Amino acid sequence: MQESLVQTILQQLLARSEREPDTYLSLAEHERTRWISEQDPEQEWRLIKMRHEGLFPDIHFNKNEAKLMLRRFLQHELDERQSNLIAIGDGIWGARVHVNRSRTRDDAFYSDLSKEESLYWLGRSTHNAFRFRMPAATVNEILHRHGVIFTASVYIMVESEGGSKYNWNSRWFWDPDRQIWICHAMARTGWDSMVVMHY
């Protein structure tokens, strides 16, 4: 499980270091998720639609083209902000991973960050990533089936080719049936960045 988490994070970082979106899209295709579609609730689409119409007013918005939309968004970030990663942090203020074992949904993502650490990792401007894919399972489903869930809160300082420096903040949970880590949420935290994230 530990090695799988390291590999999952490494694959994400490597895909996000590329200067084109194909590597990330290939990773997305191989992860056990499904693209959001017109069958999903409107809340899954609201912010994506607003951003798509703002960036691409001349392109028809189609809820059955989630992968194509993600490609457009990724390419826009690469072209406009050179968002591909060129460096990651190390040491206690460069990267932090907290793994938690829980029997309830409420404290599944409990973190043992101190006040100082919370201010450093979470106490700045936060932008939640746009989600284009739905997980193969949910936290509630794992808890219902197994009575316990393992989660990971991952904080990594990163720098993009365009000069943005921010905390890549992601939360994951372990699916023991599929033997994979599933992304629960992702965000960019920090004042020194306008990069918009997607997953």
Of 112, 109, 96, 187, the residue nearest 142 (C-alpha): 109
Cβ-in-10-Å burial (0-12, 13-18, 19+) of 154 comes to buried
Distance, CA of 178 to CA of 1 (rounded, Å): 11
Q: What is the CA radius of gyration of the chain?
A: 17
Of 56, 12, 21, the residue nearest 180 (C-alpha): 12
State mean pLDDT over 65-89: 97
The string of pLDDT tens digits covering residues 130-166 is: 999 999 899 999 999 999 999 999 999 999 999 999 9
196 belongs to a structural domain = no
Would you place residue 100 in the very low, low, confident or very high pLDDT band (cuts 50, 70, 90)?
very high
Q: Residue 10's domain spans which residues?
A: 2-189
For residue 196, pLDDT beyond 90:
no
Provide the 10 A C-beta neighbour count for residue 5. 18
194 belongs to a structural domain = no
For residue 45, pLDDT beyond 80:
yes
Residue that is written with structure tokens 């219902």 in the block? 144
pTM above 0.85, yes or no: yes
Cβ neighbours for 189, distance < 8 A, ≥ 6 positions apart? 121, 122, 124, 125, 126, 127, 166, 167, 169
State mean pLDDT over 79-102: 95
147 belongs to a structural domain = yes
135 belongs to a structural domain = yes
87 belongs to a structural domain = yes
Structural domain count of the chain:
1
State mean pLDDT over 159-176: 96
Distance, CA of 56 to CA of 71 (rounded, Å): 13
Of 180, 172, 134, 182, the residue nearest 151 (C-alpha): 172
195 belongs to a structural domain = no
199 belongs to a structural domain = no
For residue 195, pLDDT beyond 90:
no
Distance, CA of 150 to CA of 172 (rounded, Å): 9
184 belongs to a structural domain = yes
DSSP-derived secondary structure for 80-116: HH--SEEEE--STTTEEEEEEEESSSTTTT-----HH
Residue 123's pLDDT is 79
